[in-house]
Copies of this chain bind each other. A is one copy, B any other.
Amino acid sequence: MSDISYLDVKPPYRILLGPGPSNIHPRVQRAMIAPLVGHLDPYFGTVMDDTMSLLRFLFRTKNELTFPISGPGSAGREASLCNLLEPGDVAVIGVGGFFADVMVENALRCGAEVIRVDAEWGRIVEPEAIEAALKAQKRVKLLALVHGESSTGVLPPLTEASQLAKQYGALFLVDAVASLGGEEVAVDDWGIDICFSGSQKCISSPPGLAPITVNQAALDILKRRTHRVSSFFWDLLELSNYWAYNCDKVYHHTAPVNLVYALHEAVALIADEGLEPCIQRHHRHGLALQAGLEAMGLTLHAQQGYRMNVLASVRIPAGIDDMRIRQRLLDEYSIEIWGGFGKLKGQIWRIGLMGFSSTEQNVLLVLFALEKLLAEEGYPVEPGAGVTAAIRALRKEYRTVALS
């Protein structure tokens, strides 16, 4: 025995209603502890191929190079940008929140020149502003947008931006970390050249993997780079040899085998549910939550018409202590929701209903818990207002589904 003492790790059971991670389905838990095999074991090769196939289904793409980066969503972001951007390249980035800001940071560190197109945090970046930025430059290598800006709750439209990218000869990159699996994302139909996500949000797999998909146009551009990618670990051409489809895989690094098992199972669960019904479920519960929040007299932060289904952002009422409510939610209900980041710190709460966490039970529970705590903290709210509105929305949604 060494003389070092350590914790007995016994985490509390949390109901995860923040912007991710979300709760994990028991099937995914079980997959994670399937027997570990080597990362070059022929059996793992079949799992890799199958995982790529499931991710193509999820991204709605035929792109061969569709696989999980061995790192969290942030790794997907950085891998995408550092492959596409060379020193001196011009990137136009729409910025309406924290995660777009990180994209700017990443792009600058790649040595790129970044043209920011800013929007208020909570509003979409208008296509007209994007076009103006594209038009003002001689040569734009990349247009990048965040789909599902989880710092604000905004879900921007993408098809118009995609057309603009094509029109001005730029690659179109989309951060779908918070949206993939819960909101509609159609990589091929929408003309997205490179798209990445995170495992722990609407996919409801443990954190640690970043699904990514890269089309042939983007790969062709990578092959013509003049500077080598500064990262060997994230070099997509190197990675394409490791994740090569149905043929010999070349060692590049040790994939997190257990997380790949879990991701495979999580996407398989979506396949069992059906992608469209899964997105409908997120939509239905998101609308019910938002209706409930508004019925409690709260104000939704994100621009109407462009709100995420999987994450509601709501303004914290005057006189209410952000941290105190969140701590009480944790202590009394074991519910995690999140506050705002950066510019929105202390101003909003962010309530997610992602993946396995997107259930009717959670909609009702979080509304009830919020109502009770807000009332106790002195915010006037009619008893049952939020829950009642949510129930109405859920019944209406069911009717719509039944009639359609």
A contacts, CB < 8 Å to B: 1-2, 4, 6-7, 9-14, 16, 18, 20-21, 23-24, 29-44, 46-47, 50, 53-54, 57, 70-75, 77-78, 82, 102, 105-106, 108-111, 198, 200, 206-208, 228-233, 251-259, 261, 264-265, 267-268, 270-272, 274-275, 330, 336, 338, 341
A111 to B42 Cα, complex, angstroms: 37
Q: Looking across the interface, which residue of chain B has its beta carbon closest to that of A21?
A: B36
A108 to B231 Cα, complex, angstroms: 10
- Copies of the protein in its oligomer: 2
Cβ-defined partner of A38 (8 Å) among B14, B109, B258, B341: B14
Q: Looking across the interface, which residue of chain B has its beta carbon closest to that of A331?
A: B42
Known A-B contacts A71-B233, A259-B259; A37 and B11 likewise in contact (beta carbons under 8 Å)? yes
Tell whether, in the assembled complex, residue A106 and residue B9 are in contact, meaning their CB atoms are under 8 Å apart.
no
A31 to B29 Cα, complex, angstroms: 11
Identify the 4 closest CB pairs spanning chains A and B, nearest first.
A208-B256, A74-B253, A7-B50, A207-B254
A336 to B40 Cα, complex, angstroms: 10
Cβ-defined partner of A109 (8 Å) among B23, B106, B232: B232
Known A-B contacts A38-B14, A39-B21; A7 and B253 likewise in contact (beta carbons under 8 Å)? no
Known A-B contacts A9-B31, A11-B34, A109-B228; A57 and B4 likewise in contact (beta carbons under 8 Å)? yes
Tell whether, in the assembled complex, residue B9 and residue A231 are in contact, meaning their CB atoms are under 8 Å apart.
no
Cβ-defined partner of A71 (8 Å) among B14, B37, B75, B200: B75
A280 smallest CB distance to B (angstroms)? 13
Tell whether, in the assembled complex, residue B4 and residue A53 are in contact, meaning their CB atoms are under 8 Å apart.
yes
Can you name 23 A-B residue pairings with CB atoms under 8 Å? A2-B270, A4-B57, A4-B271, A6-B50, A6-B53, A6-B264, A6-B271, A7-B264, A12-B35, A14-B37, A14-B38, A21-B39, A21-B254, A24-B36, A29-B33, A36-B206, A38-B338, A73-B253, A77-B233, A206-B256, A206-B258, A208-B258, A256-B259
A106 to B78 Cα, complex, angstroms: 16
Tell whether, in the assembled complex, residue A73 and residue B109 are in contact, meaning their CB atoms are under 8 Å apart.
no
